[in-house]
Structure formats: C-alpha cells, structure tokens
C-alpha cells in the first residue's frame, strides 16, 4: 500500500509524491541532498502533470527520513531534524491544480496523506468562495505579460476560515524549498484554485469570432479574458496602469474592515394569509451577537454597552456599504430614519439566495428564518415489518434478521408535509421559487424539483430485505433528493431511530458478573446484544469513566460459548486482564502479547480454551496470519482511535481479522476529521458507509469545508444507529458522580525567573528575526520550550543540578498545595509534560512532604507501571503521584486521587481533560479539584487567554499542539513572549 502526499510551490503549482513502505527505510548516503530511500517513482496518472524530482525538507533521523503516520510504521524517534531528500514528483501547473484535486478517484492502491487531504479541502473552499461570489477580477503581470485573474475577497467569516486554513496546514505541504512563508503558500494556492473555480462558475460565453481583437480597448479585452485566455499581450504600459489602479481601488473597497459593532439584517416571514415580508435593520455586537438593538429602538434612544458615540451614523454608514451587495436597500435609505423595509416574495427570495450570503461573508449580521437554506424537497421512507403468527416484538426473542422481508414506501416531502405527484407537478408548472406549503414557507430549487419529478416514475413501494433497506437509509438518498425522514416499526424502527438503547428493554446484570450494572449500562448491554443478534457492529462511545469495560465484559457473559478477540494499546493489557478477573472471574482469559507469547499448536490450544483473548495493536499487525486463522465471534477494539487512519498497516491488519460482529470502544470517535469516523465505522460494519471516496465526496468535504447542515443531518441519521454516546456530565445518565471543580492557579515569577525569562526573550527574538523558514520555526519552538522551563523553575532551564527551594513561584505554590492535600489525608495526581522536570521534582517533593511521591514516566516497564498504580489505588496513606502527561494521560484508573494538578500546560484542552479523567470517572466518590498552574504576565497567561477566545476552534487550532504559534509574525511573537509588569513577586 502506497501513501501519496501533496505540496504547493508558489509560482509553480501542485506537486504529488508517494512513499512505498515496502522499500528499504534506511540509507547509508551522507550527501547534502540524498535520494529518498522509500519514495517511489510509481506515481498515479494525473492530468497535465510532468514527472521529475526535487528536494524536499522532511523530518529525518540518523537512519533516514521518518515515515509518515499514514504508513502505519513506527514514527517515534529521537534526534529528529529537517533534511533535504531528493524525491520523484509529479508537478501539476497551478492553473490545472483544481482539476487534479477535484479528481473523485485515486487508484485503490493509494492511501491519501494528510497533506493531500488538506489541499483538497482548500480546493473545496476555493470553489465555495467562487460559488458565493467572494471574488473580484484583477489585472496582474505573469512572465512580463498583463493577465486577467480572479482573486478572493476575504472579509468577515471568510477571514477566520482563511486563518484556520493557515494554522492547520500540514508542514509537508510546503516542504519543497526551505524558507517558504506559510502565508504566501496558502494565499498562492487559494488564488490559483479560486481563479480556476471562477472560470468554471462563469463559463466562456463569447464565440471566437465575437472576442475583442488585439487592437481593441484593454478593458474590453480584459473583460473577455476573465472567462477565456487570461493573457493580454501587447497592452500599453499606460493602459495597464490605469486599469490596474481602478481595479486595486475596487479590491480595497471590498476589503473594508468592520469594527466591533456591525449592521445586522433580519428577514421576517409574512403573517398568515399575507405575502408581505419585512426586513429589519439593527446594530449588533460582532463579539456577542446577543447584544442586538433594532434600528427602531435605536432611533428612540435605546442603547447597549459598547456602542460608539454616534450609533446612528454607524447604522447609516453600514447600510450605505451594504447597498453594493443588496441594491434594493436604496429604497430604505430614502427614509430619514430607516428601520424596516417591506419586500415582496420575489424580493425576499432574491435576498435569501443572493444578498444574504454576500452580506454575511462581508461581515454583516444576517438572521434568516429557521428553514432558510435547507433542502425543501426530500424523501420519506415508511417501512413495516411483516407480521409473524404469534410473534411478539421483544428484542431478545423476535428473531428479526437482516434477511427478513419488509414492506416499504417512499413518499415525496416538501418541508414537513408529504405531497402527491400531482402537487409536485403543479409546483413545477408554476415555477415559483418560494412557496407556502400547508402553512410553511419553503424554497424550491430547480435541480431538486427535477430530481423529485424523476423519482416519481421510479419504484416507490414494495418488498425489500431489511439489510437492503438499511443500506438505503445509510446512503441517505442523494444530494439533490436526500432522505429526510424514516418511519419504521419493530426492531428495525428501534435501530434506525438511533435510540435503540433507550427503546429496548434494559438487560439485567448477567449471571457471573461480580457487581451490579448501572441502569445506563444495562441499556448499553441491551444495545450491544441487539446489534450482535442482527450481525451488526457498533461504536460504544461513552465518555471516559462510564464503564465501557464493564459493559463489554457483560456482553461476553451473555453470549455463552462465544470467542472474543480484544485488541488494545499495550498500556491497557494489564488493566483488561485485571478487570476481567474482577468483574467476570468465570471468563477464561488468555493474553497474547510479548516475546514469550504462544505460537503454532500451543497458540491453538490456548485460544481453544479461552473465552477472551487479549492482544495489542502491534501484535495484531505482527501476528495477523495467526489471528486470521481463528473463527472469532467478535473482535473488540479498545481506544479505537488507534485505527482512525484507514490507510495504516495497523488499521488494515485489524480490519482483516474476520469476525461475526465487531465493537469499537472509544470516547473520541472523531478527533480531527470525519475520515476517522469512516475508518472506525468501516471496521464495525465493513462497507456500510460505502467507499471512502464516496464518503469524502458525500459527507466529509461538504461538512468540513462548507458546514453543510443537510449533509450533517444525513450523516447523523446514517451513523446514529451504530454509535452510542453518553456523557458523564449528563445527570440523567449518572447522578452520583461527584462534581469536577476546575480552577486556574495564578503564580508569580521570582526575580531570578524574571531575569532569566527576559534574557531568553531577548536572545531568542534576535535569532528568530535573523532566521527564515524551517530554521525560524525551530527557533520559535525552542524559545517556547525555554520560556516554559523558566516558568517551571530556573534549574529546569539551566540543568545545573542547583537547589530547588525558594526560586520558583510555581514550586512554592505546589509546596503549599501539597501540604494541604497531605494534611487533609487526600491523594493527588500532578501532571507535567517534561520527564526531566519530573525526575528533579519527585525526590524534592518526597523530602518536603515526608510522604511517598510516586513517579510514572515512559521509561518504566509495564510491570513497574502496574506496581505503582496498584500501590496508589490501594494504599491508605495520603500521597502524591507525579505523572508524565504523555505516558499517563490515558488508560489509567486512578480514582484514589481527588486532586489533579497540571503543573505545566499542554495547551490542548482535550489532552488535559483526558489526563484529568484518570481521577474523574466511575469509582470516584469525592468531588475532584482540578488546578491548572499559570504564571501571570508570561506567555502561559497569554496563550491561555487565546485558548479561551478560541474555544470553538480549540480542536482545529490548538489541537495541533504548539506548531501553530510558529507561524505568528515577529511582532506578534514579541507581544506573546514579552514579560508584563507585575509578573514578579
């Protein structure tokens, strides 16, 4: 399996290259630019591409280039640096890049890397901008020739989207050539792809004989070149200068900045029996949309905090700017105090379809009726299970299967109402773009109407197997005629509702289970059993700490004689073994892991005598053929995010193990992008969501690049039946879990820390200013690490073995807190991301508190880890547990602690929450106090504030770790790194 990557070279275009993990991974060459040992010249056929080679700056160890994560190979290494490697590439001219990236299919032998997925999303964004008219024509010079080009207009929400694309760019996208600024790479790629998209949206309308000749006026030639050949040779310098000046003024006007207060437009639908629409004007806070002041109230003297001194002028100026995007506003501006204007149905439709998107993208507020923008025409499927004589419908004994025949009927729906073929034909005849159907207004799209009329002539009722019907529901119709409603009865109705766990009768705690399942766990067991009886797999995505392990072991106990293979990370093998002995001591368990694991006949005998076989993801890959030889009743993947990338060898190996049913256990079914959900779902129910390419085209790209609500609804309906997600913060799920109290602990620097901090800032900013590209990026990351070390303790930065007491504000606060915790007889978890700091801190805290301080880090053996966890959980004496965030952030049950301290921040809320959940989970009987240490006036406080402002973007911006900070300008870095007054105690 080959892994294909993409990159962008400003001024040149798209490059495509690929890794072949089957080739040797190392090289003995020491040349400055060496041939990449496992980059392949066997590249896919792409339109307009030219084969060649070029040097790429790639992560490198002493043995060779580091494999990408998509290869499934081990990428953990020390001493990684960037080095040049000569790689075979296909170069696609910039003008043809959109065509290449829009190719729906790559050959099945290829795994698409994150860089190429990113460029495809950027291409989708360019197409979306073109469709919404977020572009203006310009005149540029290319190769000394004046050229007509379309350029994006990024204002309002589009500016935020562009920043997100810049922050989220995988570094390999700009690996071609060191020192390529990130902003230029994103902008260049977007401009070229938008130009291609604009020309597709505005196809050439002039025949060759009608096009202006070379002697025609430049504006006429330029206008024709916007949809034809873009080059304009022979133009005089004066003509070019005059036209460019006018076009630059146009672009500047389109990019007018909007302040904290914006003008807002609210479209109000007519009262019953009338066709008069109202458009209300208002002022609204751009940061807090709840601060909303209708113009009518503004003219009466009403105000809200933050308004400018003359809000009436702000309103009138905003309406004046909006006239360019919504010309009908000129009528309202004839009034002395414009507040509301009346629209006809046709004018309201024009506003919905044309002006509203333009106004919103330009930064104006727009409020539309709830139904606006939704696909009005869809399909409703009604299905009824064929009755059986004397048959009941209890889930446990109905005998329902996917091969059973059911009756079905498809109806056409407009809004919330079923319509007949005659009603639909009448609406099509009237050609009305917006109409009230049984009291509800809907938009009627020509494409949808045509698709609906076509569907009228197709088979709309009859018999079908439950499995075929399920496949139709999952496919969700098509983009023009989606399946918007399903009405099913019996077990099929329970399944398709996505609420089977609530509808099914809870299964009591099975015999042989030591303990009692909670009510929601009984419902989870019923759901898992129900899916298994149908031969379907599921994703148990309960929040961490809600007992996925207990529910899974209960499932095994209810299915006597079954043989289950459980695959989990190595760190959880002991946990599963001990939990099985605790909850289900009657289960026969065999652990297949380690150098002494059984093989051949011994393995066969061990598996034959086991109900549950536990192995790791790495072992599953190495022993694939051995595991495939067993007939498994089910395969269970714990921490199933390990198979979120469908192209890795590990993920493919797990999929290749045959089983009657499959279960995925994960609290995070989607971490970064929807392809991860497809991968996990495809493990559970192979083929149910269709091929990855169709899923990407049907769901991933519309949802991720355009936030398409219709695609989101269809995907939720398709996956809902197979995903059970409960949150422990939901009191209806678990009412006896104590509270989690999170607080920020503000620490001041000592004078020594402040002096060191300032010295690091001055030294590193000088280095950052004098460096470019990859070197600058490395300098920024180094500066951040040094500043965080200073905030921890001077000895952490200096590494001189010097004394610890009295030199760190953070350490002083931790000493006070540790004393309080020990005095109260409690236990605490203390997380740090630096193993070297933990090694210094552990003996010091042990001496300071005169109590045991345990220290868990990545260098410990599995046996030692288990020993420390067991001691912490069972010992009655108060103690502290110091943990490396990477080594202990997931998979451990440490409910003996009721205090959690994050000594230094990871700046990823999801990672910190996972670490906190080592203590805040089932089994915790006391409130959990979570403290996050932050040094005031330093980059720690400033980045915390940035995270708070960007909560909605935390997963996409902060989720990449600290890499996004490296792309800030030097002035922004100076502001971020600088030490504020008052930071020193």
* 189/334 same-domain check: no
What pLDDT shows up at residue 865? 87
Tokens matching residue 308: 């400018």
Give residue 203's pLDDT band: very low, low, confident or very high (50, 70, 90).
Answer: low
* pLDDT at res. 257: 44
C-alpha span between 36 and 24 (Å, rounded): 10
Work out the number of other CB atoms within 10 angstroms of the CB of residue 831: 26
Unique residue bearing structure tokens 């900070």: 965
**Based on the domain organization, do 338 and 393 belong to the same domain?**
no
Identify which of 391, 536, 524 has the alpha carbon closest to the alpha carbon of residue 474: 536
Least confident segment among 240-254, 633-647, 797-811: 240-254
Boundary-marking domain end, from 180, 199, 218: 199
- For 395, other C-beta atoms within 10 Å of its C-beta total 20
Q: Using H for helix, E for strand and C for coil, what is the string for 522-534?
A: HHHHHHHHHHHHH
290 belongs to a structural domain = yes
547 and 527 in a common domain: yes
Residue 378 in 3-state DSSP?
strand
Instruction: Give the dihedral of Cα atoms 246, 247, 253, 257; nearest 10 deg.
Output: -140
What are 322's two structure tokens? 């909006």
**Strand pairing class (879-884; 853-856):** parallel
Report the candidate in 747, 846, 762, 857 with the shortest Cα–Cα distance to residue 793. 747
Tokens representing 567 are 């695959």
pLDDT in tens, 896-950: 998 999 999 877 676 777 788 888 776 777 888 888 998 888 888 888 877 665 4
Domain co-membership, 576 together with 506: yes
Looking at residue 590, which CATH number applies to its domain? 3.40.50.10810
Assess whether 543 and 633 both reside in one domain: yes
CA distances from 790 to 318, 755, 834 (A): 48, 10, 13
CA-wise closest residue to 559 among 579, 600, 587? 587
The predicted pLDDT at position 189 comes to 93
Give phi and psi for 809, each to the nearest 5.
-65, -40
Pair 349, 453 in one domain: no
pLDDT at residue 830, as a whole number = 94
| Whether the predicted pLDDT of 32 surpasses 70 | no
The answer to whether residues 111 and 26 belong to one domain is: yes
Within a domain: 575: yes
Q: Are residues 783 and 855 in the same domain?
A: yes
pLDDT surpassing 80 at residue 123: yes
| Count of Cβ atoms closer than 10 Å to residue 256 Cβ | 10
Rounded to whole angstroms, how far apart are CA atoms 190 and 295?
38
Domain final residue, candidates 199, 221, 243:
199
The pair of structure tokens assigned to 834 is 């630096």
Nearest to 362 by CA among 402, 401, 319: 319
Angle at 908 between CA 904 and CA 912, to 5 degrees: 65
* Cβ-proximal residues to 224 (8 Å cutoff; 6+ apart), any chain: 206, 211, 212
Sign of CA dihedral 645, 649, 653, 654: negative
- Three-state secondary-structure class, residue 440: strand
45, 15: one domain: yes
- pTM for the whole structure: 0.55
Look at residue 279 and tell me if it is in a domain.
Answer: yes
Q: Confirm whether 252 is domain-assigned.
A: no
- Provide the pLDDT confidence category of residue 601 given band limits of 50, 70 and 90: very high
Quickly count: other Cβ atoms within 10 Å of residue 423's Cβ: 14
Total domain count, the chain: 5
Could you tell me if 772 and 921 lie in one domain? Answer: yes
Is it the case that residue 695 has pLDDT exceeding 70? yes
d(CA 296, CA 772): 54
The predicted pLDDT at position 458 comes to 67
Domain with 960 in it: what CATH number?
A: 3.40.50.300
Asked if 687 and 772 sit in the same domain, the reply is no
Boundary-marking domain end, from 496, 516, 531? 496
Which pLDDT does position 558 carry in this prediction? 93
* 8 A C-beta contact, residue 838 and residue 855: yes
Of the pLDDT bands very low, low, confident and very high (cuts 50, 70, 90), residue 952 is very low
Over the stretch 372-399, which tens digit does the pLDDT of each residue have?
766 667 778 888 877 554 433 333 334 4
322 lies in the same domain as 462: no
16 pLDDT band, cuts 50/70/90, is very high
Please check whether residue 813 is in contact with residue 821, taking contact to mean a CB–CB distance below 8 angstroms: no
Residue 780: inside a domain = yes
Please name the residues in contact with 238: beta carbons below 8 A apart, sequence gap of 6 or more: none
What does the pLDDT read at residue 194?
92
- How far apart (Å, rounded) are the C-alpha atoms in residues 826 and 878? 5
* pLDDT given for residue 207 in this prediction: 37
Q: What is the tens place of the pLDDT at every residue in 399-439? A: 456 677 888 887 787 777 787 777 777 777 777 777 777 77
The SS3 call for residue 319 is: helix
Nearest CA-CA partner of 753 in 830, 686, 806, 677: 806
Comparing 480-489, 769-778, 944-953, which segment has the lowest mean pLDDT? 944-953
Tokens of 340: 């509301």
Comparing CA positions, the residue from 827, 888, 833 lying closest to residue 853 is: 827
Residue 314 falls inside a structural domain: yes
- Please say if the pLDDT value at position 539 is more than 60: yes
Range of the domain at 590: 502-693
Alpha-carbon torsion, ordered 627, 633, 639, 643, to 10 deg = 60
pLDDT in tens, 716-730: 878 888 888 887 667
Pairing of β 827-832 and β 879-884: parallel
- Flag whether 698 is in a domain: no
Per-residue pLDDT at 630 exceeds 70:
yes
Indicate whether 843 belongs to any domain. Answer: yes
Q: How far apart are CA 94 and CA 100, in angstroms?
A: 10
SS3 for 730?
Answer: coil
């Amino acid at each position: 399996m080959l892994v294909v990557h993409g990159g962008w070279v400003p001024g040149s275009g798209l490059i495509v290259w690929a890794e072949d993990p089957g080739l040797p991974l190392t090289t003995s060459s020491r040349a400055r630019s060496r041939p990449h040992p496992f980059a392949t010249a066997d590249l896919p056929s792409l339109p307009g591409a030219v084969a060649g080679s070029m040097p790429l700056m790639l992560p490198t160890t002493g043995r060779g280039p580091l494999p990408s994560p998509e290869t499934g190979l081990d990428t953990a290494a020390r001493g990684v640096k960037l080095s040049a490697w000569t790689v075979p590439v296909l170069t696609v001219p910039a003008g043809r890049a959109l065509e290449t990236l829009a190719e729906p299919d790559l050959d099945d032998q290829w795994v698409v890397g994150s860089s190429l997925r990113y460029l495809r999303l950027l291409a989708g964004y360019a197409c979306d901008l073109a469709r919404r008219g977020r572009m203006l024509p310009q005149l540029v010079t290319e190769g000394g020739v004046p050229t007509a080009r379309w350029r994006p207009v990024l204002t309002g929400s589009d500016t935020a989207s562009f920043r997100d694309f810049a922050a989220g760019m995988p570094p390999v996208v700009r690996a071609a050539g060191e020192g390529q600024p990130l902003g230029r790479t994103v902008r260049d790629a977007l401009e070229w792809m938008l130009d291609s998209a604009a020309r597709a949206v505005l196809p050439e309308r002039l025949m060759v004989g009608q096009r202006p000749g070379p002697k025609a006026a430049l504006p006429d030639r330029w206008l024709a070149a916007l949809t034809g050949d873009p080059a304009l040779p022979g133009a005089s310098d004066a003509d070019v200068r005059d036209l460019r000046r006018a076009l630059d003024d146009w672009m500047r006007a389109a990019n007018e900045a909007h302040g904290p207060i914006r003008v807002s437009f609210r479209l109000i639908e007519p009262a019953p029996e009338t066709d008069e629409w109202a458009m209300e004007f208002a002022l609204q806070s751009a940061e807090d949309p709840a601060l909303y002041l209708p113009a009518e109230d503004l003219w009466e003297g009403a105000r809200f905090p933050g308004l400018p001194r003359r809000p009436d002028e702000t309103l009138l100026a905003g309406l004046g700017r909006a006239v360019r995007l919504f010309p009908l506003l000129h009528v309202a501006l004839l009034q002395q105090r414009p507040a509301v204007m009346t629209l006809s149905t046709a004018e309201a439709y024009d506003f919905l379809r044309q002006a509203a998107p333009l106004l919103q993208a330009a930064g104006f507020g727009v409020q539309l009726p709830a139904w606006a923008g939704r696909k009005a025409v869809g399909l409703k499927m009604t299905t009824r299970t064929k009755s059986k004589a004397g048959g009941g419908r209890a889930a446990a004994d109905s005998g329902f299967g996917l091969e059973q025949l059911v009756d079905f009927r498809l109806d056409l729906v407009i809004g919330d109402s079923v319509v007949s073929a005659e009603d639909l034909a009448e609406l099509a005849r009237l050609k009305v773009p917006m109409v009230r159907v049984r009291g509800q207004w809907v938009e009627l799209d020509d494409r949808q109407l045509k698709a609906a009329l076509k569907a009228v002539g197709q088979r709309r009722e009859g018999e079908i197997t439950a499995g075929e019907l399920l496949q139709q529901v999952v496919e969700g119709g098509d983009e023009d005629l989606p399946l918007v409603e399903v009405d099913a009865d019996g077990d099929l109705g329970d399944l398709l509702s996505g609420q089977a766990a609530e509808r099914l009768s809870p299964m009591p705690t099975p015999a042989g289970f030591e303990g009692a399942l909670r009510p929601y766990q009984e419902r989870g067991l019923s759901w898992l059993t129900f899916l298994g009886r149908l031969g379907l797999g599921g994703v148990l995505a309960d929040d961490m700490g809600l007992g996925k392990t207990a529910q899974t072991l209960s499932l095994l106990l209810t299915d006597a004689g079954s043989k289950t293979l459980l695959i989990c990370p190595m760190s959880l093998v002991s946990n599963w073994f001990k939990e099985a002995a605790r909850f289900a001591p009657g289960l026969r368990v065999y652990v297949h892991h380690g150098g002494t694991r059984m093989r051949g006949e011994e393995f066969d005998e061990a598996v034959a005598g086991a109900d549950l076989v536990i192995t790791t993801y790495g072992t599953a890959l190495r022993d694939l053929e051995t595991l495939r030889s067993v007939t498994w009743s089910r395969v269970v993947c714990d921490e199933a995010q390990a198979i979120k990338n469908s192209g890795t060898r590990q993920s493919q190996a797990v999929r290749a193990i045959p089983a009657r049913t499959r279960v995925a256990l994960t609290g995070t079914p989607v971490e970064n992008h929807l392809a991860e959900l497809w991968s996990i779902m495809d493990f559970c129910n192979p083929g149910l969501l269709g091929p990855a390419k169709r899923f990407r085209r049907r769901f991933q790209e519309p949802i991720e690049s355009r936030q398409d609500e219709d695609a989101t609804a269809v995907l939720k309906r398709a996956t809902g039946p197979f995903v059970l997600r409960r949150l422990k913060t939901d009191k209806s799920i678990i009412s006896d879990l104590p509270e989690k109290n999170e607080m920020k602990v503000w620490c001041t620097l000592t004078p020594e820390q402040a002096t060191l901090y300032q010295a690091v800032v001055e030294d590193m900013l000088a280095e950052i200013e004098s460096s470019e590209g990859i070197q600058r990026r490395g300098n920024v990351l180094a500066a951040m690490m040094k500043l965080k070390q200073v905030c921890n303790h001077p000895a952490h930065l200096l590494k001189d073995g010097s004394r610890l007491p009295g030199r760190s504000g953070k350490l002083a606060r931790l000493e006070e807190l540790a004393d309080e915790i020990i005095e109260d007889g409690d236990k605490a978890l203390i997380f740090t991301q630096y193993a070297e700091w933990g090694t210094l801190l552990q003996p010091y805290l042990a001496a300071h508190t005169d109590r045991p301080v345990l220290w868990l880090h990545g260098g410990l053996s599995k046996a030692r880890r288990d020993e420390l966890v067991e001691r912490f959980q069972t010992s009655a004496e108060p103690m502290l547990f110091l943990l490396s965030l990477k080594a202990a952030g997931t998979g451990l049950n440490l409910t003996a602690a009721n205090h959690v301290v994050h000594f230094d921040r990871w700046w990823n809320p999801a990672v910190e929450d996972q670490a906190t959940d080592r203590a805040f989970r089932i089994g915790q009987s006391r409130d959990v106090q979570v403290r996050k240490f932050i040094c005031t006036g330093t980059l720690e406080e400033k980045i915390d504030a940035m995270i708070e402002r960007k909560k909605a973007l935390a997963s996409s911006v902060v989720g990449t770790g600290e890499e996004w900070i490296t792309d800030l300008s030097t002035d922004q870095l100076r502001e971020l790194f600088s030490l504020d007054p008052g930071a020193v105690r």
